[in-house]
Amino acid sequence: MADVSLKSIRKSYGATEILHGIDLEVKDGEFVVFVGPSGCGKSTLLRIIAGLESITAGDLFIAGRRVNDVPPAARKIAMVFQSYALYPHMTVYKNMAFGLKFARTDRAEADRRVRRAAEILKLTPYLDRKPRDLSGGQRQRVAIGRAIVRNPSVFLFDEPLSNLDAALRVNTRVEIAKLHRELNATTIYVTHDQVEAMTLATKIVVMNQGRIEQVGSPLELYHAPRNLFVAGFIGSPRMNFVKGRVTAVTPEGVRVAHACGETLVAADAGHAGVGDTVTLGIRPEHMSEGEAEGLRLKGQVEAVEHLGEATYLYMKLTDGTDVVVRAPGDTAAVAGASLTIGASERSVHLFDAEGLALPRRGEAHPPRAAVA
């Protein structure tokens, strides 16, 4: 068992606090992705788990053991770095075997593990090469191999794909997902790319400015973002936000007046009352041209992007709000045209003045407890 448990972890450099009390439970075998904009503290948090950064306050447990003061090597973790961090003067084989030498692994066993890892990662033909003679993708696989041979209980990945080109990134992403299924080890993965987060994770941790914004499965975050930040961060293109004002709170939901009229959103008003400013959130893929039941917006098309299977319409509403609509690939809309767009009321999210989501009717409340 290799649970990782963080209890109000704080990290400061001098007077600047980077992490403001992080609480998180990672269960054995989970694939957890830390995602957030750069500078949000996700890499620092990973390095803390690895033992490469000290903890200012709080406790860190790996497999039930408090490891605050345990050096990285004794934590049974293995880390894959963004820059690969291969030893440039050693061959691929030595790169992978280097760590085992110090773990007092028996020679034959070390050899067996390295060859097995090389086989899994299709690196066998390259074992005698130096890192400089490998391509980016191969180097990344060596870095992963070096992690595998150590038989860690927890794998840590620090933006492992950001140095690869787009095609290779997709490939390696699939490889990592497969690897996780095979090895079934607890994995913590840091990225700023929400697509990586959505595709790989069993649990996503969205971070912002040293705090956890929300923890949940990819679809939970997609369908029930806790606040404006998560709503805007998860999903591509990002969710559209339209400002509005509460005009009535009825048993069916909340009536909101906005630039193009009024809409009933099926949400609990909570503490929001008539007259409060709110934000409507609608994902581009939930909007369509023409009239729809529920939300109706009017605006002008400013740009059109044809992707083949879909077309993105970049629009400006009458009050100046920018909105993106994912229309079918064969849409007739052209730049400059005036257009009415709509979304079903079930796909509309509602956020109060502080940016917190108002729970939608018929849905469980977002997991507020996960946030400190």
Nearer to other proteins, 12 or 300 (CB): 12
Residue 358 CA to chain centroid, in angstroms? Answer: 22
* Residue 145 binding other proteins, by CB under 8 A: no
* Residue 274 binding other proteins, by CB under 8 A: no
Among the listed residues 362, 365, 361, 356, the one whose alpha carbon sits nearest the alpha carbon of residue 250:
361
CB of 210 to other proteins, least distance (A): 21
Q: How is 116-160 classified by DSSP, letter by letter?
A: HHHHHTT-GGGTTS-GGGS-HHHHHHHHHHHHHTT--SEEEEEST
CB of 328 to other proteins, least distance (A): 41
CB of 276 to other proteins, least distance (A): 48
* Residue 52 binding other proteins, by CB under 8 A: yes
Site string for other proteins, 63-92 (x = CB under 8 A): --------xxxx--xxx-xxxxxxxxx---
Site for other proteins in 124-143 (CB under 8 A): 130-134, 136, 139
Question: According to CB under 8 A, which one of 146, 180, 283, 326 is a site residue for other proteins?
Answer: 146
Kind plus residue range of the DSSP H or E element containing 183: helix 166-183
Separation of alpha carbons 105 and 118, rounded Å: 18
Nearer to other proteins, 13 or 340 (CB): 13
Nearer to other proteins, 155 or 233 (CB): 155
Distance, first Cα to last Cα, the chain: 26
Binding-site size for other proteins (CB under 8 A) equals 34
Q: DSSP class of residue 184? A: -
Handedness of CA 328, 330, 335, 340 (dihedral sign): negative
Contact set with other proteins (CB under 8 A): 47, 50-52, 71-74, 77-79, 81-89, 98-99, 102-103, 130-134, 136, 139, 146, 150, 163
